[in-house]
Amino acid sequence: MTDKFEMRDMTGSLFPSRGETIVGQGPVKLFDEETDCYLIENTWTTPDGQQRTMHKLAVVVGVYSANKQKRNENDSDHFVNGMIGDIPIMCWGREKVSKKGTAYTSLSFKEKDSQPRANDDDIPL
């Protein structure tokens, strides 16, 4: 058995930024849909002291909003109604703390028209 985290399909995690900076942003049109795009720069120092820089391109899939209808601790803290290409998606975010004490947001995704997975049954819309 390994201690390494294994990510499942249609899930993810958001952790506090580690030095990323938005260095460019603007509108894009993809598959006849307009959205926003961000160029993110990450700079770090390697163990041998060399400065490294990496750039990532991020495309917005939807608006990340607070769940104002949260009724109990099992309800999501945030949600997104969005699109990935031509696929309508829903995303839920739950604020959590790891065993090591690191705050993060756990993400779950599904296609809007698909049947919920077994572990998504308790997620309110």
Is residue 125, in this structure, part of any structural domain at all? Answer: no
Residue found by looking up tokens 């309508």 in the block: 88
Cα distances (Å, whole numbers) of residue 101 to 12, 59, 86: 18, 30, 38
Question: Two tokens at 98?
Answer: 């790891």
pTM beyond 0.85: the answer is: no
Is residue 98, in this structure, part of any structural domain at all? Answer: yes
Q: What pLDDT was estimated at residue 96?
A: 93
Question: Which candidate, 16, 5, 7, places its Cα nearest to that of 95?
Answer: 16
Q: What pLDDT was estimated at residue 2?
A: 43
Q: What pLDDT was estimated at residue 16?
A: 85
Domain that holds residue 60: 11-115
Q: What pLDDT was estimated at residue 18?
A: 82
Q: What pLDDT was estimated at residue 31?
A: 78
Q: What pLDDT was estimated at residue 91?
A: 94
Is residue 75, in this structure, part of any structural domain at all? Answer: yes
Domain total in the chain:
1
Residue 4 — very low, low, confident or very high, per pLDDT cuts 50/70/90? low
